[in-house]
């Protein structure tokens, strides 16, 4: 009986580091921020936003399905006048989500295939944009926290 306890103890000591290693490998994306957490659900809807350079969804279109820290690279800097939204989106007046200008304007909008013109005070001002919440289930319960240095 004594030998079995020693073997079990040795097996458990070997199993613990292996379990920790596997757990760390599976959870790495949660800490690196390189991968977006995905929530799978048959009723889930991916977030996306189609923005246009004229009111009432006219003119050229830009489709956003991910964060866009600088709209200049898409030839859409300071050009957005209307959007159709599925999800929750935040548009910022400066590139990099107003990181270098805490007082810069922003506009947030949400909906399920909701189309609207940009408010007059923000028309043709967006330089970056991003969604908030889960990328593939915009109605899922999530909590996003944003921090600026003051």
Residues 62-96: pLDDT tens digits? 999 999 999 999 999 999 999 999 999 999 999 99
pLDDT of residue 136: 86
Contact criterion met (CB below 8 Å) for 86 and 51: no
Note the pTM of the prediction, 2 decimals.
0.70
- Residue for token digits 């290693």? 21
> Strands 48-54 and 82-92, how do they pair?
antiparallel
Stretch 21-37: mean pLDDT: 43
* pLDDT at residue 32 is higher than 60: no
Residue 149's pLDDT band (boundaries 50, 70, 90)?
Answer: low
pLDDT of residue 147: 75
Q: Looking at residue 6, what DSSP letter applies?
A: H
* pLDDT at residue 22 is higher than 60: no
pLDDT of residue 14: 54
Stretch 110-131: mean pLDDT: 97
Measured distance CA(41)–CA(66) in Å, rounded: 19
Residue 148's pLDDT band (boundaries 50, 70, 90)?
Answer: low
Q: What's phi and psi for 67, nearest 5 deg?
A: -60, 140
* pLDDT at residue 104 is higher than 80: yes
Contact criterion met (CB below 8 Å) for 63 and 71: no
As a whole-number percent, the residues of the chain with pLDDT over 90 amount to 55
- Residue for token digits 């995905």? 38
Residue 100's pLDDT band (boundaries 50, 70, 90)?
Answer: confident
SS3 label, residue 31: helix
């Amino acid at each position: 009986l004594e030998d079995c306890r020693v073997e079990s103890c040795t097996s458990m000591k070997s199993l613990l580091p292996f379990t920790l290693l596997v757990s760390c490998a599976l959870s790495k994306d949660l800490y690196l921020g390189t991968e977006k957490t995905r929530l799978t659900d048959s009723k889930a809807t991916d977030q996306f936003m189609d923005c246009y350079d004229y009111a009432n969804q006219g003119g050229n279109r830009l489709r956003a399905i991910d964060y866009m820290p600088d709209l200049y690279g898409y030839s859409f800097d300071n050009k957005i006048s209307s959007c159709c939204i599925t999800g929750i989106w935040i548009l910022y007046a400066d590139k990099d989500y107003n990181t270098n200008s805490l007082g810069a304007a922003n506009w947030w909008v949400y909906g399920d295939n909701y189309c609207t013109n940009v408010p007059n005070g923000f028309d043709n001002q967006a330089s970056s944009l991003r969604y908030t919440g889960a990328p593939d289930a915009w109605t899922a319960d999530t909590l996003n926290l944003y921090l600026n240095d003051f």
